[in-house]
Amino acid sequence: LSAPARLPLKVGLPREHRCVVRSPSVSTSVCMSADIDVKEYIKIFGRLGEKRLFGDSSAGLCCHSACPDCEWRYSFDILQSARPKWIPTYRENKFEDGREHLAKWGEMFEENEVSLDKDQFCLRLAALKFEMPLGPAGFLTAKQAEISQDALDAFWGHMSRGKPTLSPKQMQIRLKKMLEVADGNEGVMWPDFIDTLTADDDDAQPESPHLDEPIVIS
């Protein structure tokens, strides 16, 4: 039998036939949020979560009897829970009648303090009292709730977005972005919190300008 015909080898392929392989984009952040054990995020949520949430102050005028023609029948001025359920997206909320609420995360910023750096943020977050929140499965006691440094680093990276400091205003913005529906919603609950932190968020991670250069194979 004769040997099969050999196709001629083309040394230089036209540009349009070349294969372009891009090297993977590698994040320069120390720790990706999605790499952290979910239990670590329970420890964070249990520190920032609240049993009380201030909403629309005008809803306090409603009798909440589900009157069909009432615009506030599904709105409440104050929501309350037996266990921490919400992280307020506000630092402070004050009603005209004098009632006010300062979020736990707001206490991390001292009076007249413009921003926190990473060390301050992580230290003060870890120092907040933990209480098992509503939402996650299982149960953790305060003695089991020490946060790992990797989790603190990852949470800082998500909230600061690679900046050296974090202001109260930036904290509010990051929390509001966790909400699936932001309109009229003042509190982040566990599903939105954990979905945000464990989702792939490549667009938010800083990348080296040289890591996406094409490698051309002729």
Between helix 149-160 and helix 190-198 the angle, nearest 10°, is 90
Tell me the pLDDT tens digit for each residue of 175-201. Answer: 999 997 666 668 999 999 999 998 844
The residue among 193, 195, 168 whose CA lies nearest residue 86 is 193
- Mean local confidence (pLDDT), 196-207: 60
Rounded to whole angstroms, the Cα distance separating 167 from 171 reads 6
CA gap 185, 52 in Å, rounded: 14
CB 40 within 8 A of CB 147: yes
Task: Report the alpha-carbon distance of residue 38 to residue 138 in Å, rounded.
Answer: 11
Q: Record the pTM.
A: 0.69
Provide the b/e sequence for 18-43 (b: ≥16 CB within 10 Å): eeeeeeeeebebebbbeebeeebbbb
- Angle formed at CA 158 by CA 183 and CA 168, multiple of 5 degrees: 60
Lowest-confidence range among 20-24, 150-154, 198-202, 205-209? Answer: 20-24
Q: Is 166 helix (H, G, I), strand (E, B) or coil?
A: strand
Q: Phi and psi for 88 in degrees, rounded to 5?
A: -60, 140
Which residues face 37 on adjacent strands?
Answer: none
H/E element holding 155?
Answer: helix 149-160
Q: Residue 146's pLDDT band (boundaries 50, 70, 90)?
A: very high
* 35: CB partners within 8 A, 6+ apart: 150, 154
Which of residues 20 and 188 earns the better pLDDT score? 188
Tokens at residue 36, please?
């952290």
